[in-house]
Amino acid sequence: MNTVRRDIKERTNQISKMQWSLYLFILMGQCCFFTCRLYEYHFIEENKSWSEAQRYCREKYTDLAKVFDMTDMSRLRNSTQNQGEAWIGLKNNTDGNRTWHWSLPGVEYIQNDSSWNLNGRTGNEPPGNCGRKRDKLVDVSCDHTLWFTCYDEMKKDNKTLYLITTPMNWTQAQSYCRSHYTDLASGLDQVDGEEMKDLFNNSTFSVWIGLFRDSWRWSDGSDFSFRYWDMQLFNNEQSNKTCAMTLLNRSGKWSSDECAKEKPFFCYDDKMILIKENKTWEEALNYCENNYKGLVSITNPEVQRWVQEKAKNADSPYVWIGLSYKCTLGLWLWVSDYVVCYNKWATEGKTEGCDMSVGVDRGGQHEWFSRRNNETYNFICSKL
């Protein structure tokens, strides 16, 4: 395939655009299935306290393991034969500060007061840790039983939201949606969108949506919302068990223990790196090619979310990635020669021009914007 691509590259100046799109058609099928492994898990079979384990991982790898979704969880389990308990990089923040998360992995929680009704609880009901929606969002106790709305990424018949009229508590509703659809409805686009309005059809009732808050934090500071607690063993009240472990003989489900106890642990290692220097796109490209493998290419949602995590730590408003507009061909092309299959363009973020490349927004939903090549931003190199 490599030689084919090189051959295509050499000939691009000679062939017409029409022929070129024929070649692209052939390449297209391949690029989306290209699996970039941008991180890997390492199981360390040495007993250490949680903090010693954290120090070890930060020295030898990137940090204690974090888990984004079920696929990560499956990878983590597959990285060892061990069947005992092992620390992961999740710790309880005991100062009482809880953080809101959307249940669907990858949807970032952004506070927007206009979506909330802070006086929407009934009577003198205390604030809770799960989100209920009527016309607005209300924070209530997770053990109420309510109807709920599931989100389905398959988009059958252009439908993504389903109203389930069997009352369940929040945890049960979440497992129901995860086994029958994708997850509970998550993010303001889903929760305040037209499709949701149609589900309500002008009636007033309350439903669970995928909103919860907890006090657990990842060791590397990322705000992944995925939780895999073993509800039979995990008790969030035992406040001296503030470090999370995976129970490998219980399908990897999580519980917590006292942090001073010594256990084996999982580290993760990043395969890409944010360079916090401001360079033009060309300079960034050269820097990455000389010091690492190259500027990062985002060929699937998984790579996008790792870029998002990195972009948050940038000190420039955008971060360069390896996508730029090729005037001669009249199309956007990755430096890795792949055409764009996956994309996350911002609405009106895409401007075609001979001196344009792509910067990922440091904030918001980390969408893509075309920026002039001569602007200087931080950038992300891939290491492998």
Ligand X SMILES: *[C@@H]1O[C@H](CO)[C@@H](O)[C@H](O)[C@H]1NC(C)=O
Taking the complex as a whole, how short is the minimal distance between the CB of residue 90 and ligand X, in angstroms?
11
- State which residue has the least CB distance to ligand X: 143
Q: Smaller CB distance to ligand X: residue 316 or 382?
A: 316
User: Residue holding tokens 């990137």?
Assistant: 62
Give me the sign of the Cα torsion angle 109, 115, 118, 120. Answer: negative
Q: Residue 216: name the closest of 177, 245, 178, 179 by CA.
A: 245
Taking the complex as a whole, how short is the minimal distance between the CB of residue 55 and ligand X, in angstroms?
21
Taking the complex as a whole, how short is the minimal distance between the CB of residue 340 and ligand X, in angstroms?
22
Q: Smaller CB distance to ligand X: residue 158 or 165?
A: 158
Name the amino acid, one letter, at 196: M
Q: Smaller CB distance to ligand X: residue 21 or 141?
A: 141
Taking the complex as a whole, how short is the minimal distance between the CB of residue 331 and ligand X, in angstroms?
21
Q: Residue 60: name the closest of 72, 73, 48, 44 by CA.
A: 44
Taking the complex as a whole, how short is the minimal distance between the CB of residue 14 and ligand X, in angstroms?
29
Task: Say which residues have a Cβ less than 8 Å from residue 161's Cβ, sequence separation at least 6.
Answer: 149, 150, 151, 152, 185, 190, 195, 196, 199
Q: Smaller CB distance to ligand X: residue 22 or 260?
A: 260
Q: Smaller CB distance to ligand X: residue 12 or 80?
A: 80
Taking the complex as a whole, how short is the minimal distance between the CB of residue 250 and ligand X, in angstroms?
6
Q: Smaller CB distance to ligand X: residue 235 or 328?
A: 235
Binding site for ligand X (CB under 6 A): 71, 74-75, 78, 84-85, 92-94, 96-97, 99, 112, 114-115, 142-143, 158, 169, 171-172, 192, 198, 201-202, 215, 236-242, 249-250, 256, 258, 276-278, 315-317, 372, 374-375
Q: Smaller CB distance to ligand X: residue 5 or 250?
A: 250
Tokens for 108, please give them: 């970032």
Measure the CA–CA gap between 264 and 48, rounded to whole angstroms: 6
Q: Residue 339: name the closest of 16, 8, 3 by CA.
A: 8
Burial 257-294 (b: 16+ CB within 10 A, else e): bebeeebbbbbbbbbbbbbeebbbbebbbebbeeebeb
The angle that helices 17-31 and 2-11 make with each other, rounded to 10 degrees, is 160
Taking the complex as a whole, how short is the minimal distance between the CB of residue 280 and ligand X, in angstroms?
8
